[in-house]
Chain A
Amino acid sequence: MRDAYLIGAGQSDFGAFPEESYRSLFRTAFEEMTESVPNGISRDDIDEAYIGMVSIGGRQIGLPGPAVTEHVGLDGVPCVRLENACAASGYSVRQAIQAVRSGMADVALAGGTEVMNDLGRDRARYWLGVSGEMEWERMAGTTFSGVFAQIASAHMAEYGTTSEQLSHVAVKSHEHGAKNPHAHLGYECSLDDAESAPTIAAPLGLYHCCPMSDGAASVLIASEDVVDDYTDDPIRVAGAGASSGGIGLFERDSYTSIPATKQAAESAYDEAGVGPADLDFAEVHDCFSIAEIVAYEDLGFCEPGEGGDFAERGAPKLGGELPVNTSGGLKSKGHPIGATGASQMVEVFEQLSGHAGERQVADATVGLAHNIGGSGGAATVHILEREGSA
């Protein structure tokens, strides 16, 4: 099996952009991505393209992938749209890695795009729920925030996790996101701001929930045979893990842990030959603050039940034991559903390239990206390593 490398990454700003389309946003990400390749790249070098998109709002439900790639002149390149709810472009990245490792492609594009802010309130309410389990969870009147609120209720009952600990996650993520020029909510917030915010779905308040964002992100994966053409400081995909199952929370044996995350993490750590202690930073899926706390535990950053304390003691802050979501995460950077997984890779690329500016983790060598779909029915975990540094 050939090794795969992350050679370029770019994203649009995340936010609400009435003047942009899912295609124009992708163009911005695409151009930033091609410019980020250290030794440059020609559009013609791209052999395959994978586009993550849920098609929120119902815009282009069929063929949105080719609609995006033709917009940036990639006519002739095989392209497929991938849908795995919020893990759509985590899976795009996985597909690109597979294409490269298998030998079918030397350079594969993995991107994602989504527009969520051009819908009326009622239409948005419908579309936001389409990734929940429809026949039972949704028919019990449950929303997406409601499902994560249920996870929070179970975590609180089982481990004594507190609302304030959820707020510590939010405060940390906003502190990071304030340093990210692409962030949707790029401002700092206080613990009091978070604690006194309106309730969205008890026990979750406004600051425990990510925003709905417009945005796009794209990365390039290249094979070991061609990587040297594009960069002198290769970033290797050391581990690629993914798993799926249990789209309804009620179908799982535990409500305080996401099996797909644990399985994906185990594969990725095994393949990379590293453990949580070897990571310099991580981008984890924090659609809700409780999801980040559960991710700390499922990814082995701390023991089960200790995620709340991990956040409270500042471990995931820049400069802490293990900086988590240096980009601001979904909470502050934003969450354009189909683009989120690829955007996490953008942060990994910038950190490992030493281009993360104010957010830079010193001597960042090994980073992890974790993306889940729905309430955890699908997950990817990727571990990347800057070569020549170990």
Chain B
Amino acid sequence: MSPGIAGVGAYAPRTRLPGDAIAAAWGQFKAGGIEETAVPGPDEDVLTMGYEAARNALDAAGVAGAEVGAVGFATTNPPVEEEALLPRFGEMLAVPETAETTVYTGSLTAGVRALRGAARAVDAVGPALVVASDAPRGELDEALGQGAGAGAAAFVVTPDGPATLSAFASVSEPAAGTRFRQRGSDRAEGLGITTFDRQAFESTVTGALDGLAFDADSVDAAAVQATDGRQPYRVTGALPVSGERLKAHATVHTLGDTGAASVPLSIASALADDASGVVGVAAGSGATAEAVAIDVAGSVPATLALDGETDVDYAHYLRQRGEITGGAPQGGGGYVSLPAWHRSLAQRYRLEAGRCPECGRLNMPPRGACSHCQALVEYDPVELARTGTVEASSIISQGGAPPEFAELQGRSGEYATGIVAFDGPEGGSASLPALFVEVDPEDVAVGDEVEMTIRQIYTQEGVTRYGFKVRPVA
């Protein structure tokens, strides 16, 4: 048996910034070959985008989080520089606490390295979840900043998945300075030594391809690192497919530079399009290139959510990314202690309610006496459906948010909140307050169907709290 991909998921934020808008704002658009970039929502980061992609991949593969034995998470922009990220990520997906977890970071090649790690681990630990999620940033007037996009791809790797991870190859050479992020900075930069940068890219990519074992006749798709819309085509000559085939799965044109998720997103796109064979090459400054060959024996179930819905203008883009918002106001905010938040993660991440053993009705959160029959009981945990119905709603006008939500509102504008009833697995429902995302607040009405996702709730004392929010059913 050879390890292979058994399910594919992908996600990109729904809001897009057209390149034309950047050109209008700056007089020119420096990130060539990009039509538009995906803009993370005000409450999105690589963890929440990774959750969306992982949810899609697990559902597509028909694998439960509880079956996952290893998680590999690739990003160049972890939300914190030090602290384990994956215990929270695993909890969001109900991955067992004994699963092996590895964060791959520090280079654009992290996504392919994560696939390699999964291929090597899967025989020993069972299904592995590989997530590549990134949202690079750069200076707003530089090509890296103007081309910066966002997106996430996820793969469920099993010992016998239909898309066999047949070979990996890597090459490195000590060529630094093309693209790096200084300690303490949230922006990538490069010295812009054009010829040197291109040579490092081309020689490592070509070298990795040279060392990669694959059957050129069966390969009909390729995935190449794309910082902008021109870069991947510089190595077309070394690929077993045409430039046109390369373009078919080059997500850079509509998502922008997705960093460590660039090659994984193209692989996801190729697998969703029933490619028969894929080669992928990720390359990063430093410099390294990591290549992967994938032989596709049968169709791979895939759920991609990569379409844009809303174009934003440049001012909204600046707001949404927090470039021009004021941060948390003085005066304090609502405070839920971290231990209290920790105790409620099963509810906030997975809508785990409690069924009252006395009256059989659902309680959410499951705490204290039953809110229906007032019996003091130990609840039987049940996971609610991830879709629900709006029971009440209101719009929190601009400037009216509680102070701890002021930064979010600065970025998002007025937002809707309401109460949503989620169905239980065996009848009944439980209701919870929820904040709405990805919807015009004016369009929220009692009776609407919504689905949960996970977003940042707020960041207080340097610690970001994540929890569920709702959006209209796609």
Residue pair B432, A250 in contact (C-beta under 8 Å): yes
Cβ of A157 and Cβ of B402 under 8 Å apart?
no
Binds B, one of A28-36, A145-153, A360-368: A145-153
8 Å CB contact of A123 from B332, B408, B433, B445: B332
Stretch at the interface among A45-53, A93-101, A196-204, A346-354: A196-204
Give the residues from 314 to 369 in chain B that come closer than 8 angstroms, CB to CB, to chain A: 329-336, 340, 344, 365
Annotate A125-139 by CB proximity to B: 1 below 8 A, 0 otherwise. Answer: 110011001111111
The 0/1 profile, CB within 8 Å of B marked 1, for residues 299-341 of chain A is: 0000000000000000000000000000000000000000000
Q: In the complex, what residues of B have CB within 8 A of residue A156's CB?
A: 446
Our pick among A133, A142, A203, A253 for the contact of B417 (Cβ within 8 Å) is A142
Closest Cβ of chain A: how far from B135's Cβ, in Å? 22
B188 within 8 A of A: no
- Known contacts: A126-B333, A138-B402, A146-B417. The answer to whether A246 contacts B395 by CB under 8 A is no
CB distance B403 to A201 under 8 Å?
Answer: no
Of B393, B419, B433, B434, most buried by chain A (CB within 10 Å of CB) is B433
Is the CB of A296 closer than 8 A to any CB of chain B? no
Q: Assuming the A-B contacts A146-B417, A255-B419, are A139 and B446 also in contact, with contact meaning beta carbons closer than 8 angstroms in the complex?
A: no
Closest to B412 in A: A141
Does chain B have a CB within 8 A of A186? no
Q: Is the CB of A135 within 8 A of B331?
A: no
Identify which of B330, B406, B431 contacts A120 (C-beta below 8 A). B330
Instruction: Tell yes or no: B415 within 8 A of A by CB.
Output: yes
Q: Is B105 in the interface zone, CB < 8 Å from A?
A: no
**Which residues in window 54-109 of B have CB below 8 A to A?**
none
Contact among B340, B394, B402 for A135, CB-based, below 8 A: B340
The 8 Å CB contact of B400, one of A126, A140, A200, A255, is: A200
Whether a CB of chain B sits under 8 angstroms from the CB of A37 is no
In the complex, whether B457 has a CB less than 8 A from a CB of chain A is yes
Please name all residues of chain B whose beta carbon is closer than 8 Å to the beta carbon of A145 when the two chains form the complex: 394, 400
What residue in chain B is nearest A138 (Cβ atoms)?
A: B334
Q: Which residues of A contact B20 (CB under 8 A)?
A: none
CA distance A135 to B457 in the complex (A): 12
Flag whether B464 is at the interface (Cβ < 8 A): no
Size bracket of the A interface: 35 or more
Bitwise interface map of B from 432 to 447 toward A, beta carbon under 8 Å scored 1, else 0: 1111000001100111
Flag if A125 contacts B394 (CB, 8 Å).
no
* A residues in contact with B331, CB < 8 Å: 119-120, 122-126
A residues near B240, Cβ cutoff 8 Å: none
Band of interface residues on B: 35 or more
Residues of A within 8 A of B372 (CB): 253
Q: Is A19 an interface residue (CB 8 A)?
A: no
Least CB distance from B456 to A in Å reads 12
Q: Write out the residue numbers on chain A whose beta carbons fall within 8 Å of the beta carbon of B333.
A: 126
- Give A147 to B402 CA distance when docked, in angstroms: 12
**Which residue of A is nearest B419, CB measured?**
A250
Mask of B447-468 contacts with A, CB within 8 angstroms, 1/0: 1000000000100000001010
Q: Are the C-beta atoms of A126 and B446 separated by less than 8 Å?
A: no
Contact of A112 with B by CB under 8 A: no
Interface: B383 (CB within 8 A): no
Known A-B contacts A122-B403, A146-B394, A250-B419; A135 and B432 likewise in contact (beta carbons under 8 Å): no
A176 to B340, CA, bound (A): 46
B332 touches A153 (CB 8 A): no
User: Chain B contacts of A154 at CB under 8 A?
Assistant: 391-392, 446
Contact A246 B371 (CB under 8 A): yes
State in angstroms the CA–CA spacing of A204 and B394 once bound together: 8
Fill in one digit per residue for A239-265: 1 if any B CB lies within 8 Å of its CB, else 0.
000000010111111010000000000
A143 adjacent to chain B (CB < 8 Å) = yes
Which B residues are in CB contact (< 8 Å) with A204?
394
Give the residue name and chain of the A residue nearest to B420 (CB).
A250
Name the residue in B402, B408, B409, B442 with the highest tally of chain A Cβ atoms < 10 Å from its Cβ. Answer: B402
Question: Which B residues touch A146, using CB under 8 A?
Answer: 394, 396, 400, 417
In the assembly, what is the distance between CA of A154 and CA of B332, in Å?
A: 31
A136 engages B419 (CB within 8 Å): no
Q: Give the nearest-CB partner of A255 in chain B.
A: B392
Are A125's CB and B433's CB within 8 A? no
Whether B336 and A200, one on each chain, are in contact in the complex, defined by CB atoms closer than 8 angstroms, is no
State how many angstroms separate the Cβ of A55 from the closest Cβ of chain B.
Answer: 14
B446 touches which of A143, A153, A252 (Cβ 8 Å): A153
Nearest-neighbor residue (CB-CB) of B416 within chain A: A202
User: Smallest distance from the beta carbon of B360 to chain A beta carbons, Å?
Assistant: 15
Q: Which 9 A-B pairs have the closest CB atoms?
A: A149-B394, A122-B331, A123-B331, A140-B433, A150-B392, A122-B329, A157-B446, A202-B395, A154-B392
24 residue pairs of the A-B complex, CB under 8 angstroms, read A119-B331, A123-B332, A126-B332, A126-B403, A129-B402, A135-B336, A139-B336, A139-B465, A140-B417, A141-B396, A141-B408, A142-B435, A143-B400, A146-B394, A147-B394, A149-B394, A149-B395, A150-B419, A153-B418, A200-B397, A201-B394, A202-B441, A249-B392, A250-B431
- Residues of B at the A interface (CB closer than 8 Å) are 329-336, 340, 344, 365, 371-372, 391-397, 400-403, 405-406, 408-409, 415, 417-419, 431-435, 441-442, 445-447, 457, 465, 467, 469
